[in-house]
Structure formats: structure tokens, C-alpha cells
Amino acid sequence: MTSGRSTSVHSAPICISPKHFADYLSPQQDYCLFLDIDGTLADFTLNPKDSFIPTTTLTLLEKIQSHSVNIAIVTGRSLAEARQMLSPIKLPIAATHGLEMAFDGISASLTQINFAELTAIKQAIRQSCTPYDDLLIEDKPYSIALHYRQNPALADVAYAIMSTTSKNHPDWLLKQGKYVWEIAPKAADKGVAILILLKQMHTNDTLCPIFIGDDITDEEGFIAVQDSKRSVEKSHLTKGMGIKVGNECQQLTCAHYYVNDIHEVTVLLEGFLDFCQKRSTLLPDLANMNVPINVPAVDKHTRQLI
């Protein structure tokens, strides 16, 4: 794990049939969604500047929001890029892996950034990349990423450049992503960002967080939502659901669930909207029934739904 935090890897996650996502949910339970962007809401492109979130997906998120479901974005993108990709809809965002936070009209940073050091890191990387036209530098306000998707044969070169540079800067961390290495301040942690956002949206102690993401940096988020013992200023959370996109390395994720690809994320979100719509019509009846709150129970050993 890139954060250095110890993360217990569970046995294989359970495959969610996205069309039947409602089967994993309970009408008596309040949910909130945390969503990653690249590889989750937006398909991959060679150049990060060409990526976009389909309008249909943005519309879907708006419809889910209209059912009073809190949605927040937790992304490695910079805040400016995340906002641009989400436009015209406005959502709370934890950008640059949680370093840049924006919610309720407030913008905040998880940590003090040493910009002089960041400039030195950027200069060193630019210099080392001069011989390699196929390496793409993504210059972000709080970090720097080096992409090798255009030429995967340069994976080792990219790693060598980034690891050598990061070793000279102990307060900065080397983060691995899909065809990318990034150097960011150590405080960058999607799990911490999710817990902060959750605290902002918390209306009661039983809100069940669902986090969907596809990359190594999303593991911190899966741990944050799934660990009911983690607390934000003594407010204990209902155990949530971590959903990994992609099943290429099932054994290497902490997420309890997975869907196969971005298309299945859309189907799952459609299923979630359907669940919200049905629940809206059911709620008056449920309120009178005093039904116990239910979250999907999973056998610790077999990882099957109980």
C-alpha cells in the first residue's frame, strides 16, 4: 500500500451483479456514495486531458441526489480538473487524493504544502524526463504525476525517475496508479478524506457509506468505509461497502465487493436510483413498521453474503 498504513487484505471480494444492486441494500438504511473518477466514472484515455464523465452518468448522479442521498467525489485529480469534469453538477470533492477538499462552499487543504519543495521535485522530474518523449508529466497544484500509458515499455524508467526523486524528499510519498507514478505530500489519503466528508454529511450514526473505486489509491477508501470501528470524533459509523471496479487482482484488494468494469458501475448506479425511487414510495409504510436496520452481512471466511 502506498500510504504505508497497514491494510489487511481479505479473501476474494464478492462479485456484485450490478442489475441486482438493490438486493444488497435495505430500504430502512440511509446510504451515501463516495465515487472515484478515473476508471470508475470516466473511461481511460491516453492523455488525462481527454477524459470525461458521460453526461448520462452526471444526470444519473443528479437524479440520485434528488432523493436526498449525499454523493461526494474522491479523486486523484486536482480540484480544478475534478470540478471541470463534473460540470454542470456541483458535489463535495476530495481532490488530489484528498489533499484538496471542497464542500459547503469551503475549500480546504488536508495539510500545509511546501511549495518550494514541490517546485524542486517538479524541476528534477522534468529534467530526468527530457530524453523520453512518451512520458507525460501531469503538473498538478499539489503534486506531480508521471504517466507512461502511451508507452508501457517505459514503466521501469518512469518508476526509476519517480522513486529516485521521492527518496530525496522524505515528507513526500510515491503513489502508484494505473500507468502512472505520482509524488504527493504524505498526508494525501483518500480514507482520511472520506471520513472528513462523512462527518460533514452525517445526519445520524447509521449512515452507511458506499465507496466505489478502481485503483490502488482507493484501497484507503475501502478500508475507511468498511471499518465500523474507525471513528470521526467519537461518532461511530455503520459498516459500509467498498466496491472495487475490475477483477484483475481480486486477492489484492481490501474491498468486500467488486463489479467488472465502468459500464457495470453505471448499471449499478441505475440500480441504486431505482432502489431510491422504490424506497420513496415505500417509506411512509416502513416508517410505521419499526423494522430493524440492515446492512449486507458477509461471512468473514467465505466472503459470501449471509
Q: DSSP state, 211?
A: E
Q: Which of 13, 18, 39, 209 binds ligand L263DTV3 (CB under 6 A)?
A: 39
Q: Which of 189, 215, 220, 270 binds ligand L263DTV3 (CB under 6 A)?
A: 215
In angstroms, give the least distance from the CB of 95 to ligand L263DTV3: 9
Minimal CB distance to ligand L263DTV3: which residue? 76
**Number of residues located near ligand L263DTV3, criterion CB under 6 A:** 23
In angstroms, give the least distance from the CB of 39 to ligand L263DTV3: 5
132 or 303: CB nearest ligand L263DTV3: 132
Phi-psi region of 180 (alpha: psi -120 to 50; beta: other; left: phi over 0): beta
Nearest by Cα to 76 from 67, 85, 68: 85
* Grid cell at residue 125: 522530474
Q: Which of 178, 202, 230, 303 binds ligand L263DTV3 (CB under 6 A)?
A: 178
Run of H or E residues at 63: helix 55-65
Run of H or E residues at 15: strand 14-15
Q: For 139, what's the count of Cα atoms within 13 Å in the CB-facing half-sphere?
A: 10
Run of H or E residues at 212: strand 208-213
In angstroms, give the least distance from the CB of 219 to ligand L263DTV3: 12
Residue 272 in contact with residue 21, Cβ under 8 Å? yes
In angstroms, give the least distance from the CB of 125 to ligand L263DTV3: 14
The residues of the shown chain that bind ligand L263DTV3, judged by CB under 6 A, are 36-39, 44-46, 48, 51, 75-77, 138, 145, 147, 149, 177-180, 182, 215, 217
